[in-house]
Chains A and B, each alone.
Chain A
Amino acid sequence: MKRMLAVLALTTALVCPGLAMARPVTLTTTLKNYGGNGAYVAIYLTDAKGAYARTLWVAGRKAKYYEHLSDWYRATGGRGAIDGITGASVGSGRTLEVSVELADALFDAGYTVHVDTAVEDMRDAPNEIAVPLTKAASGQTVPGRRYVAGFGYRL
């Protein structure tokens, strides 16, 4: 029993480093008027080595289209745990604003926020945004290459 508790404590600590020090972060993604159907958007983190770490949000509910968010799809095998962090696809010219809990330890630790986008019958835009996750960058907005007019996060 004691051993079990220790294992539990260990795994919990590994999975949620500094759970007590998590803070809400607002992710804002504004799309251009690209003149197409609603865009699928995946926002996710990679660690300092470039390895996939965690999915923050997926806009668009039809799993059959996820392959078009190709970097994220390949990183997660298309079977990423996304329960509770999915919403509707984002229309042309609309803004997606979501709030996620991020541990303090993730900031300024070499993590990168990525945004993949895709629109039906238009070109896919994997890794359209890649910005380092730092406290200093809070409130700043960066433009994307294809569909994203501006992306930023706010602590």
Chain B
Amino acid sequence: MIRTAHRWPGIAALALVATLSLSGAALSVFPAAERLVAPQAAPGMSVAELAAGLQAAHPGIEQIRRAPSGRITAYWTDDGVAGSAVIDPVTATAVAAAAPDPLERWLTNLHRALFLGDAGRIGAAGGAAIMLLLTLSGSLLVARRVGGWRRWFRPLRGPLPGRIHTEMARLAVPGLLLSSVTALWLAASTFGLLPDQGAPPRPIPPASGLTGAPVAEIPALVSIPVASLRRLDFPAAGDRTDVFTLKTSQGTGYVDQGTGATLGWSEDGWWAQASETVYMLHTGRGVPVLALLLGVTALAVPAMGATGLAVWLAARRGKPRVTGNAAAAPAETVILVGSEGGSTWGFAATLHRALTRAGQLVHVAPMSSFDPARTTAARRYLILAATYGDGAAPASADRFLDRLAGMAAAPAAPLAVLGFGDSGFPDFCGYARRVEAAARAKGWQPLLPFATVDRQSPQAFARWGSALGAALGIALELDHRPAPPATVPLTLVARREFGQDVQAPATILRFAIPGTSFAACLSGSGFARFQAGDLLGIVPAGSAVPRFYSLASGSDDGFLEIAVRRQAGGLCSGQLTTLPCGGKVDAFLRRNPQFHAGNAATPLVLVGAGTGIAPLAGFVRANTRRRAIHLIFGMRHPDSDFLYGDALTGWLADGRLATLTTASSRGASPRHVQDALAADPTAILDAVRHGGRIMVCGGRAMAAGVAEAIARLLERQGLSLAQLRTEGRYVEDVY
């Protein structure tokens, strides 16, 4: 609800609030500049002294104005010639022209009226109202995200655009509140909606008709310091009935030009003074430091607009539309989703649809917004949770476990947890299991026993659906067809064959990076940014199911490179290994952050066999910082399937690769990578001791053999592989 109230006005009014903020930021510089250059009056100087000095210099003096910055401007007509200047009050001499700065005037007209007169003023006021709405709703969202107002500055996690958005928001909220509220006040004042006009001039008692009171001795002018002067109007030359008009920070007074007597004085009302203060707070006139602070704050608005847009685009991409999502409060079934890439949302949408069709009010929400106080009518909770990395919470489940742990008691309505994962990875459905365990420990009643869905299996999901239907006493058929990922045609630009002679044909394929939309660049989606270790999903002709290949290149390399082994009868590998240069395949990118080399300077041990070398070669290629990388590579025969053999030689020479160990399963002295590891464990042990990392890529059997060999090595040193795994220092990418 709050998110909706934050998102749509933000997107709709992005251009407007960005224009207002940028022009406001530009204007914020002027008060400081004016303050720096304006000559200031001596402390304690009276208006009488100032006026007398100026009258001596310009007998035809007509008006003196003092800006909040202390800048004093005088206007006169001497011998029929009109003149004006910014004045040094101490010497009564001109120091600059009085004309308003054209750039400032241009910016002001853009900022307050978009050059559109009254219609533009209303538009700008609307922009300020939206800014206020965004600030308030955004503050609520920040408080919710960090877990309360008192934890406003708690460190953040999650994807970069969202983090930047929230970081900037936390700092900018006070300034934006001040700017938008004062803007609305000023707009109301301009349109006469506030009773803040200065007191109407009271009828002045008739002037004496005399002239020539010496300005320096007029009591009213002597008693008022220059610091509180706003304006002094001299009586018109030759008009005996005219008077001095004096405007100060307190009010307006009239002084007889012959007797020097004060003829009348009216104080500004409360509203007028409040409007003056609001004007000062909004423009920073007279308070240049505030002006600059507000200006910097305003600069955050377009940046937040861009990151907000990126967050929204990423969420929209990753999250299938749940049509007819019920509100939280009346929902009887609450589905909580913990998803990293977005596929779990697809399952949630299917479940939502089926339950809604069965006549239930169903509310779907990310696990991160779990709040039983808002779902008071809930009769059951269903959690669909994926796992991020090694058992960590996926993006949309941020802080769920903390929140559950912090509750006095679990909700009364029972809970069913369904885990999603890939049984090829260690700690299958690890996060979902932790959720289940935490819920049981809290005494949360189970609705169904814990269940898992392996590799997005529609059958497993349907089975769980029938069990759920049985528990609810309804027939529930979950027919989930994963939404096909949005693919882009990739063009093959180069290919190289290996392994023909050893009956293990493999090909390194290099594709051009397709053009990306501006939105994709902004949100970092699509092919705009990727790195070695990410996955290229390829949808072969004649199948809807994608196959994934580890990338051997990053976006900085300027191409997409994968290594493919031809499987006997393999549909996708067959199409890829026979693809001619210039041919196209449909592909999409999937991020794989747990198998990135990272930025650390600690040693890296890479172990791979066959086409599993692809991401490892990519890490070495990107190693321009010359981190110590040791590669152990297994193949059949160096003369036939030494993938990246030439490149590796070059990288050894230029220092990107520290050592290269190969193991060939055929030829003179056949051995596997695990044998090579056991024979010379120096690199592994060295890396482990120095906080380094081991990354393994290849077939399942090879990975198991390597893990066993390394576990044995470590045991002898009193170390454990399990420990390394939980620290994220032993990672595998197996197929």
Question: Do these two chains really belong together in a complex?
Answer: yes
Which residues of chain A from 95 to 132 have a CB within 8 Å of any chain B CB? 120-124, 126-127
B197 CB within 8 Å of chain A: yes
Which residue on A lies nearest to B84, using beta carbons?
A123
Q: How many angstroms from the CA of A61 to the CA of B190 in the assembled complex?
A: 10
Contact A123 B192, CB 8 Å, known A70-B233, A73-B201, A146-B82? no
Q: How many angstroms from the CA of A122 to the CA of B117 in the assembled complex?
A: 19
21 contacts between A and B (CB under 8 A): A35-B99, A35-B102, A36-B100, A36-B105, A37-B105, A50-B241, A62-B191, A64-B196, A67-B197, A67-B198, A77-B201, A77-B203, A78-B197, A79-B200, A122-B98, A122-B100, A123-B63, A123-B75, A123-B98, A126-B236, A145-B82
B residues with CB within 8 A of A? 62-63, 75, 77, 82, 84, 98-100, 102, 105, 109, 117-118, 189-192, 196-198, 200-201, 203-204, 233, 236, 241, 245
Please state if A64 and B105 are interface contacts (CB–CB under 8 Å): no
A135 CB within 8 Å of chain B: no
Task: Looking at the assembled complex, report how far the CB atom of B691 sits from the nearest CB atom of chain A, in whole angstroms.
Answer: 64
8 Å CB contact of A64 from B75, B99, B190: B190
- A121 surroundings in chain B (CB, below 8 A): 100, 105
- B75 surroundings in chain A (CB, below 8 A): 123
Task: Looking at the assembled complex, report how far the CB atom of B179 sits from the nearest CB atom of chain A, in whole angstroms.
Answer: 21
Q: How many angstroms from the CA of A79 to the CA of B117 in the assembled complex?
A: 24
* Pair count A-B, CB < 8 A: 52
Q: 0/1 per residue, A67-107, Cβ < 8 Å to B?
A: 10010011001110000000010000000000000000000
Please state if B245 and A70 are interface contacts (CB–CB under 8 Å): yes
Please state if A77 and B99 are interface contacts (CB–CB under 8 Å): no
- B63 surroundings in chain A (CB, below 8 A): 123-124
Which residue on B lies nearest to A121, using beta carbons?
B100
8 Å CB contact of B189 from A64, A67, A120: A64
Which residues of chain A from 1 to 42 have a CB within 8 Å of any chain B CB? 35-37
- A79 surroundings in chain B (CB, below 8 A): 200
Task: Looking at the assembled complex, report how far the CB atom of A85 sits from the nearest CB atom of chain B, in whole angstroms.
Answer: 17
Interface centre among B98, B105, B201 (most CB of A within 10 A): B201
- A120 surroundings in chain B (CB, below 8 A): 100
Please state if B200 and A78 are interface contacts (CB–CB under 8 Å): yes
Q: 0/1 per residue, A130-155, Cβ < 8 Å to B?
A: 00000000000000011000000000
- A77 surroundings in chain B (CB, below 8 A): 200-201, 203
Task: Looking at the assembled complex, report how far the CB atom of B732 sits from the nearest CB atom of chain A, in whole angstroms.
Answer: 70
Task: Looking at the assembled complex, report how far the CB atom of B237 sits from the nearest CB atom of chain A, in whole angstroms.
Answer: 11
Task: Looking at the assembled complex, report how far the CB atom of A122 sits from the nearest CB atom of chain B, in whole angstroms.
Answer: 7
Which residue on B lies nearest to A89, using beta carbons?
B117
Q: 0/1 per residue, A38-74, Cβ < 8 Å to B?
A: 0000000000001000000000011110010010011
Which residue on B lies nearest to A122, using beta carbons?
B100
8 Å CB contact of B204 from A36, A62, A70, A74: A74
Contact A74 B82, CB 8 Å, known A36-B105, A64-B190? no
Q: How many angstroms from the CA of A121 to the CA of B118 in the assembled complex?
A: 19
In the A-B complex, the 6 residue pairs with the closest CB atoms: A123-B75, A121-B100, A78-B200, A77-B200, A74-B201, A63-B192
Please state if B192 and A62 are interface contacts (CB–CB under 8 Å): yes
Please state if A63 and B204 are interface contacts (CB–CB under 8 Å): no
Known: A63-B197, A67-B197. 15 other contacts (CB 8 A): A35-B102, A36-B100, A62-B192, A63-B192, A64-B190, A64-B197, A77-B201, A79-B200, A121-B100, A121-B105, A122-B99, A122-B100, A123-B84, A124-B233, A145-B82
Which residue on A lies nearest to B241, using beta carbons?
A50
Q: How many angstroms from the CA of A120 to the CA of B62 in the assembled complex?
A: 17
Q: How many angstroms from the CA of A124 to the CA of B63 in the assembled complex?
A: 9
Q: How many angstroms from the CA of A78 to the CA of B82 in the assembled complex?
A: 27
Task: Looking at the assembled complex, report how far the CB atom of A71 sits from the nearest CB atom of chain B, in whole angstroms.
Answer: 8
Interface centre among B100, B102, B191, B241 (most CB of A within 10 A): B100
Q: How many angstroms from the CA of A73 to the CA of B191 in the assembled complex?
A: 19
Q: How many angstroms from the CA of A63 to the CA of B241 in the assembled complex?
A: 26
Task: Looking at the assembled complex, report how far the CB atom of B400 sits from the nearest CB atom of chain A, in whole angstroms.
Answer: 54
Q: How many angstroms from the CA of A120 to the CA of B99 in the assembled complex?
A: 11
8 Å CB contact of B109 from A37, A78, A122, A126: A37
